[in-house]
Structure 1
Amino acid sequence: MCTGVFTKTKDGTYLLSRTMDFVFPLEPSPLFIPRGFEWQAAVKKASFNTQFGFVGAGRLLGDTYFVADGVNEKGLSVAELYLPGEVYYAEHPINNKVNVAPHELILWLLGTCATIEEVEGKLADLHIVSAMIPELNIVTPLHWILTDLTGRCVVIEPTEEDLSIKENKIGVMTNTPCLEWHIENLRNYLHVRPKQYEPVRFGEYIANPFSQGTGTTGLPGGFTPPERFVRAAFFKEHIEEAENEEQGVYNHYHILSTVRIPKGIVVTAADTVDYSQYVGTMCNNSKTYYYSAYDQHDIVKVTLTEELLARTTPKQFELAAKFKVHAIE
């Protein structure tokens, strides 16, 4: 479970946000990966070196870093979301291919590619192999949403051997089913609108609305992927357009507040609690990552400054106290 949203502000700023919804406490925080960072893939123990520095959310799992989303110094941003029941992963690596586990793909994408066009050009050499993520001991069924400085928004869904790019003209992504299904499903909600419905006559009786908001009647309110997709698409489409990056970040938090899952609301068949562990927002233009955890309403940010990019080792940013209230007099 997760929801992703991509928008453009009036001044041409591109922002990608996501909720991280999961049952296992991931305990991530903002994380910087430097240029020239060497990491070892789970498949064939092959070594890779990052060409570009990037910042996102993640943590050290075992001997390698797990990164769930991020933006690199070239303005490419990526987020991974669950796609259970739909993915195809190879069982074995192939020689002369880039063999990576699904949970390693963001490390490779952000460290290697500057644009979506470049990603597209390298897909033929990419081979995703089924391998467990350390400590979780599961193979994560993932798909990925990507954006860059051109304003392009695409999705990679590994449902067959050969990978391809899907254009995402809606700028929203959730979970299973695949993207095409969600887009078609929007046709069931043509009646949902921001504007109030007019009174309706039934014989001699005029039925007036109880209050404001009748236009949103029928907007789904549950937390299934289709319901979250429709809700996020509606709010993204109709929220007042942001002027700049700061307003854009606020807009994303308002949009995602409609799909964030509190603890206790979604309980799995195994009696585990699925909830929104954090919200991460990436700005392609300023190369900035915004982050807020479940129990922290403050938004923290990390920008890829020249000083940060000069580092040669990863940096895990510690968060401030979890509960903070600003008292006024």
Structure 2
Amino acid sequence: MCTSIFTMTKDGKHLLSRTMDFSFPLDPNPLFLPRDHQWSSDSDQQSYQNKYGFIGAGRLLGSSYFVADGVNEKGLSIAELYLPGEVYYSKEEKKDALNLAPHELVVWVLGNCGSIAELEQHLSKIHLVEKAAPVLNFVTPLHWIITDKTGRCIVIEPTEEKLSIYENTVGVMTNTPCIEWHVTNLSNYLHVRPQQYDPVTFGTHTANPFSQGTGTTGLPGGYTPPDRFVRAAFFKEHISQAPNEVEGVSNAYHILATVRIPKGIVVTGEGALDYSQYVGTMCNESLSYYFSPYENYQISKVTLTDELLKETKPKFFEADHQEAIKSLN
């Protein structure tokens, strides 16, 4: 599951936002990984040393840090989402390639690429190998939405060995099917609009709208990836553009509220609850990461300040996982 959107404020701030929908309890918190962070790939045990520091949502899986999304000090942001049934990963490592397990791509990209253009220069070298994620103990079928300060938004979907880039002009991503299918599917919803429909005459009877909102008739209401994609695209397109970053984050939460999954609404075939474990938003200009877990609607914020970037060790920022309610009397 998961839904991601990319928006821009009137003052030029670019925001990548996402829900993390999963049935396995990830227990994530905002995580800072510093410059020169060293780690080894689960694929071939090759050692890597990142160039850039970044902040995102993550946790420790085994002896390595798992990061599902984040923004780095150069203003590149990325989020990984599920793509079951569509991905292709190699069975074997490849000589003279960057052999990475799928769950490691976010850490490598944020640690080594300052822009989408820079990522493009490395893309032909990246070789994704079918390796299970520690603790999860299964291979995660992933695709990635990536943005930078230029306002460019791309998607990488590993449907064949050679990775390629899809320019995401809609600025929305969910899950299977692949992104091109979802974009084409929007043509089925040309009738959905914010404006009211006019009264219609049947014989001598005039049928008038029931209150407001008739233009949204036909907007899908389920939690399948196609339904969530259409809703997110519609709300993103028509919500009043935010003037600044704070209101942009608020807009993102309003949009994602239409696709955020409460516990008990989606149950897997194994009986597990698939729900929105957190919402994260990254700002490419302020280098800020906004986070709220399922249990608490209050938004927390961590910024890549000069002081934080001087840190030499990974650092967790514990978010409050209890609902914060402000008493007014």
Aligned counterpart, 2:309: 309
AA at the equivalent of 1:270: E
Task: Confirm whether residue 83 of structure 1 aligns to residue 63 of structure 2.
Answer: no
Aligned counterpart, 2:175: 175
Using the TM superposition, give the Cα deviation of residue 321 of structure 1 relative to its aligned residue in structure 2, in angstroms: 5.3
Give 3-state SS (helix, strand or coil) of 1:218's partner. Answer: coil
AA at the equivalent of 1:176: T
TM-score, structure 2 normalization = 0.99
Partner Cα separation in structure 1 for residue 79 and residue 213 of structure 2: 33
Question: Is the 2:294–2:321 contact (alpha carbons within 8 Å) kept by the matching residues of 1?
Answer: no
Question: Is the 2:13–2:283 contact (alpha carbons within 8 Å) kept by the matching residues of 1?
Answer: yes
Using the TM superposition, give the Cα deviation of residue 269 of structure 1 relative to its aligned residue in structure 2, in angstroms: 1.1
Partner Cα separation in structure 2 for residue 116 and residue 250 of structure 1: 26
> 5 Å matches for 1:215-234?
215-234=215-234
Gap runs ≥5 in structure 2 = none
Using the TM superposition, give the Cα deviation of residue 320 of structure 1 relative to its aligned residue in structure 2, in angstroms: 2.7
Partner Cα separation in structure 2 for residue 323 and residue 10 of structure 1: 31
Aligned counterpart, 1:205: 205
Aligned counterpart, 2:326: 326
> 5 Å matches for 1:126-275?
126-275=126-275
AA at the equivalent of 1:309: L
Partner Cα separation in structure 2 for residue 215 and residue 310 of structure 1: 52
> 5 Å matches for 1:79-118?
79-118=79-118
Using the TM superposition, give the Cα deviation of residue 33 of structure 1 relative to its aligned residue in structure 2, in angstroms: 0.3
Partner Cα separation in structure 2 for residue 127 and residue 69 of structure 1: 20
> 5 Å matches for 1:2-41?
2-41=2-41
Partner Cα separation in structure 2 for residue 152 and residue 320 of structure 1: 33
Using the TM superposition, give the Cα deviation of residue 274 of structure 1 relative to its aligned residue in structure 2, in angstroms: 0.4
AA at the equivalent of 2:323: F
Aligned counterpart, 1:281: 281
Using the TM superposition, give the Cα deviation of residue 43 of structure 1 relative to its aligned residue in structure 2, in angstroms: 1.1
Which stretch shifts more, 245-254 or 314-323?
314-323
List structure 1 segments (4+ residues) > 3 angstroms apart after TM superposition: none
Aligned counterpart, 1:300: 300
Partner Cα separation in structure 2 for residue 214 and residue 325 of structure 1: 35
Using the TM superposition, give the Cα deviation of residue 249 of structure 1 relative to its aligned residue in structure 2, in angstroms: 0.2
The superposition leaves residues 184-221 of structure 1 with CA deviations (integer Å, 9 ceiling, x where unpaired) of: 00000000000000000000000001110000000000
AA at the equivalent of 1:91: K
Question: Is the 2:85–2:176 contact (alpha carbons within 8 Å) kept by the matching residues of 1?
Answer: yes
Aligned counterpart, 1:53: 53
The superposition leaves residues 250-306 of structure 1 with CA deviations (integer Å, 9 ceiling, x where unpaired) of: 000000000000000001111111000000000000000000000011100000000
Partner Cα separation in structure 1 for residue 54 and residue 147 of structure 2: 14
Give 3-state SS (helix, strand or coil) of 1:285's partner. Answer: coil
Give 3-state SS (helix, strand or coil) of 1:291's partner. Answer: strand
Using the TM superposition, give the Cα deviation of residue 60 of structure 1 relative to its aligned residue in structure 2, in angstroms: 0.5
Partner Cα separation in structure 2 for residue 233 and residue 324 of structure 1: 30
Question: Is the 2:87–2:158 contact (alpha carbons within 8 Å) kept by the matching residues of 1?
Answer: yes
C-alpha RMSD over aligned residues = 0.6
AA at the equivalent of 2:198: E
| Identical columns (%) | 65
